[in-house]
Amino acid sequence: MKLVKCIVQPYKLDDVKAAVTALNIHGMTVSEVRGFGRQKGHKEVYRGAEYTVDFVPKVEIEIVVADNVVKQVIDAVVKAARSGKVGDGKIFVTDVEDVIRIRTGESGEAAL
């Protein structure tokens, strides 16, 4: 199994979720993150003090899927999350050795 870790624009979360569930994948874990990359941040001024904020808000979506659907998932996410502007984000694919469903103790793909 693979962990498909997608870092996308926050306002794209719903679209990505829709695209992934459309593939009959009904599980993902999301967290709020801050990204640093090509996309430029902005300047903030508080009374005298000026700060440049290089970190921009992103959401990280972790989806663990069976090897055979990785490709489809990636394509679906790319399609849903793309706006064409710098900052659209990245997808990282890593290997997952095992998955356990806590409720049942099932493991492997059965646990997904």
- Closest residue by Cα to residue 59 from 38, 77, 85, 72: 77
What is the smallest separation between the CB atom of 20 and ligand ADP, expressed in angstroms? 9
Using CB under 8 A as the binding rule, whether residue 49 contacts its own copies is answered as no
- Pairwise CA distance, residues 80 & 94, whole Å: 21
2 contact, one of another protein, ligand ADP, its own copies, none, CB 5-8 Å limit per kind: its own copies
Can you read off the two tokens belonging to residue 12?
């794209």
Residue with tokens 């874990």: 29
- Pairwise CA distance, residues 87 & 77, whole Å: 15
Beta-carbon contacts of 71 under 8 Å, excluding residues fewer than 6 positions away, are: none
What residues from 67 to 106 belong to the interface with its own copies (CB under 8 A)?
A: 74, 77-78, 81-103, 105
* Nearer residue to another protein within complex by CB, 44 or 109: 44
Which one of 12, 35, 59, 69 is in contact with ligand ADP (CB under 6 A)?
35
Note the residues at the interface with ligand ADP (CB under 6 A): 7, 27-29, 35-39, 56, 58, 62-64, 86-90, 101, 103, 112
